Amino acid sequence: MDFSDTPDEAAFRAEARAWIQKYAPRKWLDSGQQGMPEIAEGKGWQRLKAEHGWACIHWPREHGGRGATAIEREIWDQEEGPLWRLSPLFTIGHNMAGPTLMACASKALQARYLLPLIRGEEVWCQLFSEPGAGSDLAGIRTRAQRDGSDWLISGQKVWTSIAQYADFGLLLVRTDPHAPKHRGLTYFVIDMKAPGVDIRPIRQMSGMSEFNEVFLDEVRIPDAQRLGDVGAGWNVAMTTLANERAMGLTVFPPQVEEMLALARTTALDGVRAIDHAAVRTRIADWYITANGLKYTELRTLTRLSRGQQPGPESSIIKLIVGRGRQQLASFMLDVLGPSGAIMESNQVGHDALFQAVFLRAVGNRIEAGTDEIIRNQIAERILKLPGDLRIDKNIPFSEIPTAPTSCGNR
């Protein structure tokens, strides 16, 4: 066991590092740089990378990528380091839209979309979830109806990140309400600037707005924008989601250093909180959990380095991070005492961090697969336990029982 690169990996890292050092905007190379970049800065960095063959390095060469291995991609991400802040606008496009287009779209659509995507000229979002269909994605109700060589789309999508910046969206809709739920779906590319697309930010319980709801009112989409056959949208959606899983999660940080710093600078009963017996064991608990997460990632990297797929170990991370961050934040607010309930924290250097985590981590347990769905996946895919009973699987979608007010209620 050792943590060093193989000779090939080291050579790749050196090449990537040299290029980044030469071309990256100095300002965003500095991890201490405050704030977020302008959209134009992000697009500029993407274009520069594309011109030099460093954009979407995991894409095949025929589509402008580098055909990089999974471990090379990981090394590139490590070397890009603080520059990640220039790229969140392209996460969905490069990791989900691109691979889905390559696998399921016509040559014409590939020719139209892939190059502007890799060059950072066009931004993509994903329109899957609806108010009435989250974990049960195949229960979506947004309707598409034929109108000559076009389709007319009406309905509502929700939890759509970056919809307000997006040029195009990956859209899953219902084309046949009389077919069983998985078989009446069809998949399209939607122009987010088209008439009838109405994007409204959602205000989360944290007060932030990271997501949108998207209302679709008779939006016209040409049939040529369809991916896969009519009624085969579920398979295309699975391709998208498999690529989402493959990119790994943008895992929220376990905030170990911040936890230690706060416990060292906060006084409790005349001692530093970190020296208080009740605090000490809880700190140790989270340190050990975070340590386990770190080495779980290194186990996955080991598999990538050996040219293997990520193993089952990679599936545990999100489940631990979501619940763990929520519990950690709650405990750190306990450590702060009455000040824990003050959002304008006077804790020097901590800037109400754990108050923010306390509110945001709630969502970590829900987004990109709820804790419950992930447990089902671990149980069924890894432990090979039987699937749940699906009473709605083989009956027409229109006959599936629903709650009287199932749609749109929050």
Partner 1 sequence: MNLDFSAEQETFRTQLQRLLDERGARQVARRLASATAGFDGSLWSALADLGALGAHLPEAYGGFGGQRLDLCVVAEELGRTLAAVPALATLYLYSELLFDTGDEQLLRRVLPELVAGRMTGTVAFTEVAGSAVPLHPTAVLRDGRLWGAKTAVADGADVDAAIVLAADGTGSSLCWVDMHDTAVHRSRLPSLDLVARPARLDFQGARAVRLGPAGGGHALLQRALDRAAVYVAFEQIGGAAAMLEKARDHALQRFAFGRPIGALQAIKHRLADLFVATELARSNCYYGAWAVTSGSDELPLAAAAARVSAGSAFETCAAECIQIHGALGFTWESDCHLYYRRAKGLAVALGSEFMWKERLMSHLDRQAA
By CB under 8 A, name the binding residues for partner 1: 1-5, 9, 71, 260, 264, 274, 280-281, 283-285, 287-289, 291-296, 298-299, 301-305, 312-313, 316, 319-320, 372, 374-376, 378-380, 382-383, 385-389
Which helix (H) or strand (E) is 1 found in, with range? none
Backbone phi, psi, residue 224, to 5°: -65, -15
Shorter beta-carbon distance to partner 1: residue 23 or 295: 295
Shorter beta-carbon distance to partner 1: residue 211 or 286: 286
CA angle at 368 for the pair 142 and 302, rounded to the nearest 5° = 140
Q: How far is the CB of 285 from partner 1 (least distance, A)?
A: 7
Cα separation, 266 vs 347, whole angstroms: 8
Q: How far is the CB of 312 from partner 1 (least distance, A)?
A: 7
Q: How far is the CB of 351 from partner 1 (least distance, A)?
A: 21
Ramachandran bin of 35, using left for φ above 0, alpha for ψ from -120 to 50, beta for the remaining angles: left
Cα separation, 182 vs 166, whole angstroms: 27
Shorter beta-carbon distance to partner 1: residue 111 or 284: 284
Shorter beta-carbon distance to partner 1: residue 229 or 372: 372
Pull the structure tokens for residue 219: 């939006």
Specify the amino acid at residue 205: M
Shorter beta-carbon distance to partner 1: residue 157 or 365: 365
Q: How far is the CB of 256 from partner 1 (least distance, A)?
A: 10
Cα separation, 315 vs 375, whole angstroms: 9
Shorter beta-carbon distance to partner 1: residue 13 or 66: 13
End-to-end CA distance of the chain: 51
Pull the structure tokens for residue 16: 């990537």
- Strands 150-161, 197-201: parallel, antiparallel or unpaired by DSSP? unpaired
- Closest of 255, 172, 177 to residue 216, by C-alpha: 172
> Is 85 in a helix, a strand, or coil?
helix
Q: How far is the CB of 205 from partner 1 (least distance, A)?
A: 25
Q: How far is the CB of 81 from partner 1 (least distance, A)?
A: 17
Cα separation, 322 vs 308, whole angstroms: 27
Shorter beta-carbon distance to partner 1: residue 385 or 407: 385
Q: How far is the CB of 284 from partner 1 (least distance, A)?
A: 4
Q: How far is the CB of 319 from partner 1 (least distance, A)?
A: 6
**270: Cβ–Cβ under 8 A, 6 or more apart, which residues?**
none
Shorter beta-carbon distance to partner 1: residue 288 or 407: 288
